[in-house]
């Protein structure tokens, strides 16, 4: 039986890529972003903008006084989307398109 050989040193881990941003750079970094089914969103409170991409189409909304913190969909078969804000929830129909 051969004696055990010493372990080789491990390579240092490389940081994971954060991925490419899909929103315009002049908006900065979103306070929250995410995706669900065929939809993704990013919220920029300083600019009062909510970006929503559905089916490859990007739409920009004026968020006004809403501070978006999350998203929910009624079902995977429905396109009904509601965003969570400081008062509960808000739908895209309640926001003005830019």
pLDDT, tens digit (0-9, with 9 covering 90-100), for 3-16: 888 877 767 655 54
Is the residue at 66 inside a domain?
Answer: yes
Is the residue at 51 inside a domain?
Answer: yes
Is the residue at 47 inside a domain?
Answer: yes
DSSP element (H, E) containing 72:
strand 70-73
Q: What does the block give as tokens for 84?
A: 């969570």
Tell me what pLDDT residue 97 has: 96
Please state the domain count of the chain.
1
Tell me what pLDDT residue 74 has: 61
Is the residue at 37 inside a domain?
Answer: yes
Does pLDDT of 37 surpass 90? no
Contact indicator for 83, 41 with CB cutoff of 8 Å = yes
Tell me what pLDDT residue 73 has: 67
Tell me what pLDDT residue 3 has: 83
Segment 42-50 shows an average pLDDT of 95
Is the residue at 87 inside a domain?
Answer: yes
Enumerate helices (H) and strands (E) in the chain, giving the number of each: 0, 8
Is the residue at 2 inside a domain?
Answer: no
**pLDDT band at residue 36, thresholds of 50, 70 and 90?**
confident
Parent domain of 85 = 30-97
């Amino acid at each position: 039986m051969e004696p055990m050989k010493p372990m080789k040193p491990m390579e240092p881990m490389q940081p994971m890529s954060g991925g490419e941003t899909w929103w315009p750079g002049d908006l900065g970094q979103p306070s929250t972003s995410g995706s669900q089914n065929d939809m993704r969103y990013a919220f920029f409170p300083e600019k009062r903008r909510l970006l929503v991409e559905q089916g490859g189409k990007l739409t920009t909304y004026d968020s006004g006084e809403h501070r978006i913190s999350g998203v929910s969909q009624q079902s995977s078969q429905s396109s009904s989307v509601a965003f969570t804000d400081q008062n509960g929830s808000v739908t895209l129909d309640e926001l003005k398109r830019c």
